[in-house]
Amino acid sequence: MTTSAPDIEEAGAVLAAESARFASFGWMRGTSGNLSVVVSRDPLRLAVTASGHDKGELTPSDVVLVDAEGAAVAGGRPSAEAALHARVAALTGAGAVVHVHTVASVAMGRRSPGGIVLRDLEMLKGVGQPAHDVEVTLPVIVNSQDMGVLGDRLEAARDPRMPAVVVAGHGLYVWGDTPRQARHHTEVVEWLLELELTER
C-alpha cells in the first residue's frame, strides 16, 4: 500500500474541480452526491469526497481515503455511499465514479421504473454504444439505505454495455476509466435523460 498523503491531496484537487463543475449544473444541490477516484487497485483504495460539504465549495483536503468496504483509511468521515463507489470500482474496473442527484434521472426513473430504453441516438456513442438499430437499456434500480442491498441490485441490473445506473427516487451512478471520462459519461447519460423527459 503506497498511497501517500500527496496522492490523496492531488486526488482531492481533481474531485473538488469535478464537483464544482457538476454543482454549477445544479446536479449536486444541497450537499448531495459524491465523487470518487481509484488511487490504488490492490488493495483497492478510493479517494471519495467528504460528506456534508457544499459540493461547489470543496477544497483538495475535503477528501477521504476508503477501502473496498467504503471504510475510512485516512481523512474524515466518508458518506455511507462510499461503499457503493468501492463496489462499482471493483465490479466494473472503473477508475472513477460519479454520483449526482439530477432532476431528470429521478423523473425518468418514475416514468420508466423497469429501465429506460434508448435507441437510435448518436449520443449513445458517448457511452460506447452504437448509434443505430441497437436498443440499450439504462437500468433503474430500487433505492435502499443499505449499501449492500443497493450494490446487489446494481450488480444484478447493470448492463455491461452501459456505464451508468439510475437509482429510483435518488439519482445517478456513472463511471469511467478516469474522472474526465466519468464526467463525460455523466454528461452524456444526463443529456439522454433530459431528451427522454421531453416526450409528451
For residue 133, give the nearest of 122, 123, 119 by alpha carbon. 119
User: Residues 31, 108: contact at Cβ < 8 Å?
Assistant: no
Nearer to its own copies, 65 or 106 (CB): 106
Nearer to its own copies, 29 or 152 (CB): 29
Residue 1 Cβ, how far from its own copies at the closest point, in Å? 32
- Three-class secondary structure assignment of 37-79: EEEEECCEEEEEEECCCCCCCCCCCCEEEECCCCCEEEECCEC
Nearer to its own copies, 73 or 123 (CB): 123
Provide the sign of the torsion angle of the four alpha carbons 83, 84, 86, 91, taken in this order. positive
Nearer to its own copies, 3 or 137 (CB): 137
Beta bridge pairs of residue 8? none
Binding site for its own copies (CB under 8 A): 25-26, 29-32, 54, 101, 103-104, 106-107, 110, 120-123, 126, 131-132, 143, 145, 167, 169-171, 180, 183-185, 187-188, 190-191, 194-195, 197-200
> Is 185 annotated as contributing to ligand binding?
no
> Which amino acid makes up residue 113?
P
Residue 4 Cβ, how far from its own copies at the closest point, in Å? 28
Residue 122 Cβ, how far from its own copies at the closest point, in Å? 4
The C-alpha cell at 123 is 449520443
Residue 193 Cβ, how far from its own copies at the closest point, in Å? 10
Q: Which 3 state secondary structure label does DSSP give 15?
A: helix
Half-sphere exposure of 99 (CA within 13 A, CB side): 22
Residue that is written with C-alpha cell 478510493 in the block: 46
Residue 63 Cβ, how far from its own copies at the closest point, in Å? 20
> Is 132 annotated as contributing to ligand binding?
no
Nearer to its own copies, 152 or 184 (CB): 184
User: Which residues are known binding-site members for Zn(2+)?
Assistant: 99, 101
Q: Which residues define the annotated binding site?
A: 99, 101
